[in-house]
Amino acid sequence: MPEYIEKVKFDDEGYLENHEHWSEDLAKTMAEEEGIYDLTSRHLEVIYAIRGEFAEKGEAPTLRRLTKVHGFPTKELYQLFPGGPGKKAARIAGVKKPHGCI
């Protein structure tokens, strides 16, 4: 395991405790833990949209907001982040899960 990962702390659900400790390298490692082995530029577009909204509002956007406000089609989000795109994308983006996610 890379040395920097040992310094990063996660909560009980696997979300980064301090969003400022996030990096693209960490995102790639977290994506692999979620079964996403090729973090593409489109994944990063979603991730940076989530991080931008988190920086602005203090919370991750919901899946609905990602589709309606940011323009990412729901079907594509499920393809990029299968099995729970809202939670997975937020986790990989280094922010807390969106409100309303179980």
Q: What pLDDT, on a 0 to 100 scale, did the predictor assign at position 100? A: 63
Active site residues: 101
Encode pLDDT of 22-56 as tens digits.
999 999 999 999 999 999 999 999 999 999 999 99
With respect to residue 23, please indicate whether it lies within any of the assigned structural domains: yes
With respect to residue 101, please indicate whether it lies within any of the assigned structural domains: no
Res 1 pLDDT > 50:
no
With respect to residue 67, please indicate whether it lies within any of the assigned structural domains: yes
Chain centroid to Cα 83, Å, comes to 13
Range of the structural domain that residue 36 is part of: 3-93
With respect to residue 31, please indicate whether it lies within any of the assigned structural domains: yes
- The total domain count for the chain is 1
What is the reported pTM? Answer: 0.88
With respect to residue 51, please indicate whether it lies within any of the assigned structural domains: yes
Q: Is 16 helix (H, G, I), strand (E, B) or coil?
A: strand
Encode pLDDT of 79-99 as tens digits.
999 988 999 999 999 999 877
